[in-house]
């Protein structure tokens, strides 16, 4: 794996994770790193585990972008449900 491929992979993960966070109106802890993790894990779940590819021709670095976004939204939603919803964007705990 080259450095360029790794950077593109991280960029696709970040974009998918940030859009996934916006779709479910929740945030992952860790900011951008959490969004990247959600995007990459979501893409892995959708493509490799569930074998769901929405638009195979729309892919970057071998990752189907629409499937990655949907998978990231599912990962963020599941994480927020497991964590008790304490990571809602804009909420503060006093």
Q: By the 8 A CB rule, do 42 and 71 touch? A: yes
pLDDT, tens digit, 9 for 90 and up, residues 29-85: 888 898 888 888 988 888 888 888 887 778 887 778 888 888 888 888 888 888 865
Is 13 inside any structural domain?
yes
Q: Which is it for the CA torsion 10, 55, 49, 61, positive or negative?
A: negative
Is 24 inside any structural domain?
yes
Is 49 inside any structural domain?
yes
Is 90 inside any structural domain?
no
Cα dihedral value 44, 50, 56, 62, nearest 10: 20
pLDDT, tens digit, 9 for 90 and up, residues 6-37: 888 888 888 888 888 888 888 888 888 988 88
> What is the number of structural domains in the chain?
1
Q: Which domain holds residue 31?
A: 3-82
Is 87 inside any structural domain?
no
Q: By the 8 A CB rule, do 44 and 27 touch? A: no
Is 88 inside any structural domain?
no
Q: What is the pTM of this model?
A: 0.77
């Amino acid at each position: 794996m080259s450095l360029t491929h790794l950077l593109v992979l991280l960029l696709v993960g970040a974009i998918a994770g940030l859009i996934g966070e916006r779709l479910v109106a929740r945030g992952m802890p860790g900011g951008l790193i959490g969004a990247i993790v959600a995007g990459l894990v979501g893409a892995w779940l959708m493509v490799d585990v569930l074998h769901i590819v929405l638009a195979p021709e729309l892919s970057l670095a071998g990752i189907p972008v629409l499937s990655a976004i949907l998978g990231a939204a599912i990962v963020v939603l599941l994480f927020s449900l497991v964590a008790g919803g304490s990571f809602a964007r804009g909420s503060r705990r006093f």
